[in-house]
């Protein structure tokens, strides 16, 4: 397998995430898009650790293992972030009966 394919997939996922964040107004969908971007990065990390470093250093059993470790960190942080974010969205819904982010233009005040 070529590593390029993973890269293309990751780029596609990341771009879908960005476009989603920019274009959609539903807070939950924006959240999902952020997750999508994070996971695109995770995918890249795993792909590089397995196919790039391990292939370059065949004798070493644990080569590139730290890249995979980072993935777990990201997952943990993402989980924490989601819990906070969902709490915010719930509060937002209670106040405005909507999850449309364009209602939240009070940042300029």
Partner 1 sequence: MNNVLQLVWLVPFFPLVGFLINGLLRKQLPKSLISIIGSGMVLASFIVSVLLFMEVKNGNTQVVNLFDFINSGTLSIPFAFQIDQLSSLFLLIITGVGFLIHLYSAAYMHEERSEHFGRYFCYLNLFVFSMLLLVLGANYVIMFIGWEGVGLCSYLLIGYWFKNTEYNNAAKKAFIMNRIGDLGFLIAIFWLIAKLGTVTYTTPEGSGVFDLYNKLTRTDIIGITLLLFVGATGKSAQIPLYTWLPDAMAGPTPVSALIHAATMVTAGIYMIARSNILYTMAPETQSVVAAIGLATALFAATIAIKQNDIKKVLAYSTVSQLGYMFLGLGVGAYTGAVFHVMTHAFFKALLFLGAGSVIHAMHHEQDIRKMGGLAKHLKITHATFLIGCIAIAGIPPFSGFFSKDEILAAAYEKDHLYYYLGVAGAMITAFYMFRLYFTTFWGSFRGTEEQKHHLHESPAAMTIPLIVLAILSMIGGFVGLPEVFNMGEHKLEHFLAPIFEASTKAKELVHPEVATLDHGTEIMLMSISVGVAVIAILIAWARYIKKPELNEPAGFGKVLADKWYIDELYNFIIVKPLNGLAKFMNSFVEKRFIDWLVNGVGRTVNYTSRQVRLVQSGLVGNYVLLMVLGMLALFVVKFFLKK
Helix ranges, 24-64 (H) = 27-48, 54-56
- Binding track, positions 17-56, relative to partner 1; x by CB under 8 A: -x--xx--x-------------------------------
Of 1, 62, 97, 108, the one binding partner 1 (CB under 8 A) is: 108
Distances (CA, A) of 96 to 41, 100, 104: 34, 9, 9
Q: Which is nearer to partner 1, 21 or 54 (CB)?
A: 21
Left (φ > 0), alpha (ψ -120 to 50) or beta: where does 2 sit?
Answer: beta
Which positions lie near partner 1, rule CB under 8 A? 18, 21-22, 25, 101-102, 104-109
């Amino acid at each position: 397998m070529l590593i390029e394919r993973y890269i293309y997939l990751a780029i596609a996922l990341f771009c879908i995430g960005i476009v989603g964040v920019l274009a959609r107004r539903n807070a939950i969908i924006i959240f999902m898009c952020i997750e999508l971007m994070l996971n695109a990065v995770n995918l890249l990390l795993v792909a590089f650790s397995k196919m790039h470093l391990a292939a370059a250093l065949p004798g070493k059993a644990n080569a590139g293992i730290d890249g995979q470790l980072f993935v777990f960190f990201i997952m943990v942080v993402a989980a924490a972030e989601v819990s906070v974010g969902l709490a915010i969205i719930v509060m937002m819904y209670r106040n405005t009966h909507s999850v449309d982010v364009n209602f939240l233009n009070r940042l300029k005040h």
